[in-house]
Amino acid sequence: MPAAVPAGIFIAPRSGSGGCTDTMSLDFAKLDGLIPAVVQDEESGRVLMLGFMNDEAWRKTVETGNVTFFSRSRNKLWMKGESSGHVLKVKEIATDCDDDSLLIKVKSLGPGVCHAGYESCFYRRLEGDQWVESEGKTYDPNAVYGGSK
């Protein structure tokens, strides 16, 4: 049985589901047990980051109201903000038509989401054949994480 959804979180019903939100089944099989989760600022609409969730990270996100991912490089769960304090509070969760991707709208409790010191992980844009920084840093990552990231 799925976990209860914390107060203040809205899980958007799938199209054609008749508004039914009693199932939280997602298709983790297509990407070897993972699904991509796009994280978007609830107020500005800006995409902040893309992470991956396994079933455990998904359930922990829903149970706690804090976005939790599965780290592919460290092979473990990590709650966004566990070391920086820049926690992502879930406000709304939607899935795509194939139930294999998530869109998570959040309230960010920090000056930035990117470990490199930016508000968003998408702080570079392609100009010609070069990636160009399109904004300034919102915090010093060395002060938050220690050392260089």
- CATH code of 65's domain: 3.10.20.810
Q: Is residue 127 part of a domain?
A: no
The C-alpha atoms of residue 143 and residue 42 are separated, in whole angstroms, by 27
The pLDDT value given to residue 9:
53
Whether the predicted pLDDT of 114 surpasses 80: yes
Contact indicator for 23, 13 with CB cutoff of 8 Å? no
Q: Is residue 144 part of a domain?
A: no
Q: Is residue 136 part of a domain?
A: no
**How does pLDDT run across 67-88, given as a tens digit for each residue?**
999 999 999 999 999 888 999 9
Q: Is residue 121 part of a domain?
A: no
Q: Report, as an integer, the average pLDDT of 43-69.
A: 97
Longest CA span, the chain? 51
Instruction: Indicate the range of 6-15, 49-58, 107-116 predicted with least confidence.
Output: 6-15
Instruction: Indicate the range of 15-24, 32-41, 60-69 predicted with least confidence.
Output: 15-24
Q: Is residue 119 part of a domain?
A: no
**Residues recorded for the chain:** 149
The boundaries of the domain holding residue 41 are 10-111
The pLDDT value given to residue 21:
47
Q: Is residue 76 part of a domain?
A: yes
- pTM metric for this prediction: 0.82
User: How many structural domains does the chain have?
Assistant: 1
The pLDDT value given to residue 91:
97
Whether the predicted pLDDT of 120 surpasses 90: yes
Q: Is residue 138 part of a domain?
A: no
**Beta-bridge mates of residue 125:** 132
